């Protein structure tokens, strides 16, 4: 407490030495164990202006046994008054710091929740993309196999068409040769028949002539 009073006295001296408006505001904090009365004068009989909640920050105006402070009310207006210096501290009280840490913790929890949400969304998106990629790879493999089968079937079909064309040409050749053989055979039979007929006619003519010639010889 003596150290605090020394600090308050030093602050007062600085406030006197430094021109008004040039001195930076010094902040102190009320105790976190109870509410503190803000009075109009530096005494226990001074008029109570308001009650300062525990662990509230105030600006030091005139520190002493009673310290003149400025307190920012809930409506944003500043209220000057006197508070016993023993109820002030230059450091935030534990409960105030705890509330700050709790607020920071809640903020971090909210941020962590957002991060977890984004992580879940990204994980879901990654899973969807992985599934889509798997399907695309499967479709690609099917297409690749289908292309290979198509090329194989096309090659076999082209080969079969070529074989069929060759077979048809061979059949036409055989048919033509068969027709030629039939025609040649008919011609041979026709020639053979003609030869037989001519031979018969010649033999008949020769025989008739011989008989005629013999008759003439007989009469003479």
pLDDT tens readout for residues 127-154: 888 888 888 888 877 777 777 777 777 7
Average pLDDT over residues 92-109: 72
Q: What is the pLDDT of residue 170?
A: 83
User: At residue 35, does pLDDT exceed 60?
Assistant: yes
Q: Give the Cβ contact number of residue 84 at 10 Å.
A: 17
Q: Residue 68: name the closest of 31, 41, 89 by CA.
A: 41
Q: Residue 27: name the closest of 56, 64, 50 by CA.
A: 56
Q: Residue 62: name the closest of 34, 92, 41, 32 by CA.
A: 41
Q: Are 52 and 96 in contact (CB under 8 A)?
A: no
Percentage of residues in the chain with pLDDT exceeding 90?
A: 1
In the structure, what pLDDT confidence band is assigned to residue 24 with cuts at 50, 70 and 90? low
Mean of pLDDT over the chain: 75
pLDDT tens readout for residues 64-77: 778 888 988 889 89
Of 52 and 148, more confident: 52
């Amino acid at each position: 407490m003596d150290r605090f009073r020394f600090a308050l006295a030093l602050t007062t001296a600085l406030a006197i030495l430094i021109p008004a408006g040039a001195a930076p505001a010094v902040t102190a904090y009320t105790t976190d164990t109870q509410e503190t009365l803000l009075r109009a004068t530096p005494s226990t009989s001074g008029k109570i202006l308001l009650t300062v909640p525990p662990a509230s920050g105030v600006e030091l105006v005139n520190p002493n046994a009673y310290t003149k402070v400025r307190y920012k009310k809930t409506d944003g207006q500043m209220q000057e008054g006197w508070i016993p210096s023993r109820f002030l501290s230059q450091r935030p009280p534990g409960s105030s710091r705890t509330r700050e840490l709790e607020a920071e913790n809640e903020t971090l929890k909210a941020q962590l929740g957002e991060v977890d949400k984004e992580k879940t969304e990204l994980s879901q998106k990654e899973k969807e993309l992985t599934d889509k990629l798997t399907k695309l790879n499967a479709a690609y493999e099917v297409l690749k196999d289908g292309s290979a089968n198509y090329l194989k079937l096309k090659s076999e079909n082209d080969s079969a068409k070529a074989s069929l064309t060759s077979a048809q040409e061979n059949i036409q050749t055989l048919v033509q040769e068969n027709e030629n053989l039939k025609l040649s055979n008919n011609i041979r039979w026709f020639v053979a028949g003609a030869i037989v007929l001519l031979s018969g006619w010649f033999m008949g003519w020769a025989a008739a002539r011989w008989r005629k010639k013999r008759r003439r010889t007989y009469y003479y």
